[in-house]
Structure 1
Amino acid sequence: MHRIIALCENATAHVLDIKGRYAFPPIMLSGYPSKTVQSGAFLVVVTTKAFIHVWNIHAKSVVLKSESLLPLLTQYDPEKDRSLDVARIQVAAGGLPIIILNTGKTFMYSLELTAWFMISDPRGLVSSPLTSDQTISGRLLFSGGRLRNKPQPAIVSHIKLKLATCTEMKNADGIMQWLIALAKSLATHELWKELHQLCEDLLGPTHSAAKVSSKWNPKIVGLVDKRKVLRQILTLLLEDLKFQEFYTEFDELLRDVESQETTTSVPITSPP
């Protein structure tokens, strides 16, 4: 369903179909339009008064109502002697806006908290709002990249922050890859207790009674199968002999759980 957007000097946004017919009457904005992005069904408009609006123009519904960008822009960049400005706008799952400033800092809005998340800071460890395959593959984390010389807590913190960002963005590939990267980092630094906790969280309850009372969800944000990720992590750990006992423990537990699920899912038929 294609839509044509026209922004006018009288602070209105006009939404038309491919034949030039109005989808609905013009939208009155909170100020003159400055920047706009259309991504699928979602229309993002930033006004000169630094307010951002997001609509689903196919469903004719609001995603984000007149939210101020001033908390992001009322800063100063002492290194380059410049004021902050919006350089680019991206749209995440569900139409949530991602704001990239001219300094490289990146923010995403949270409807649940009605607040902006900072998901990227080029001066810190979080260098990109999106998952980098190069980082995940280990070339950056473990083979001479810029994180190699960082202290161990900083590396783990970096990975956890990237994981939280991908979870908020509902980026399934990123969630899976950063979980594996987290396990790799914990294993590399021999943080046994935290690695054990991570694998336990992915494994979930290991007997039927626990399943009834537990609030454990087998999928992360409904997209990533936790036990599938655990199986990949165990396969990676098996490459190092010092993790043999660790692998055996969780491999047996995982096989038991999978066996229980298979037994439960098989329908019982009465004899004729």
Structure 2
Amino acid sequence: MTQDALTGWDDETTAEAYAAFAHTFPMYSASSRDLVARARLTDSHVIVDLCGGTGATAEAILALAPPNAQVISLDNAPSMQRIGRRTLNDPRLSWVTAPAEGLAEHAPAHGVDAVVCNSAIWKTDVPAVFAAVRRVLRPGGRFVFNVGGGFAGVTHPDAPTLPTSPSLGTLIERIAARDYGTPPASANGVPRLPLTAVTSHLTAAGLTLVETDVTAQHVTMAERRAWLSIPVFARPDSGLSYEQQMAILQEAYAQTCPDDVTVTSWLVVVAQLEEPQA
């Protein structure tokens, strides 16, 4: 299913809130460092930060890439990139405003050594993006990305099977249903992008699956509240104004302990364009 990767993101309020969250809390920087380490950039000359947003992953790439490497941050939301240009100033980094599916139209003719995509692949036309990555990767180049556990249908062992108290999301749903009559979020139990689908799409694109891993992020309630305060992530996701969403979030958060930790799971995927056989 094709997702609209731009909806809600090309908005100054969202971009500012997202950038503030990424610089205050470790979620995006930690996952970016993990993905970039798996990309093995030691000898890379050109690296793409796909769906790069305000540059959290580009910053991690720049920290590990060789001094003469070129980094391209490609994203479809000008507002996100405007924030990134303001806060991340490095001559090795260039910004390209384009959809992920159009990657091949903006990559250098001689190709790229790695493509990294943090927290966004599910929002794209996945087969089209994988085909575009295949077109631009040099032989031996790596494509590294992650998929949220709910979308991938995976759970890390650290995640409790039976939560001891309602999650912030559950509390939000209850308050919204009580005060506004909103229906509960749909939960059909079918993951949108499981590993079987990922593997199938990679194979169809001509890429080889190298490694998979299920990782965990330990997130406090305070961090979770900050994430849900970003307009594009606010809940419930339709029918209410942002002000109403924030009032519900505040009431739900008041019923939690700020230092309580929740565990979110992620499927991490490493693929590669194989070297031609001699």
Question: TM-score when scaled to structure 2?
Answer: 0.24
More helix by share: 2
More strand by share: 1
Higher gyration radius (CA): 1
Relative contact order (C-alpha < 8 Å, sep 6+): which is higher?
2
Question: TM-score when scaled to structure 1?
Answer: 0.24
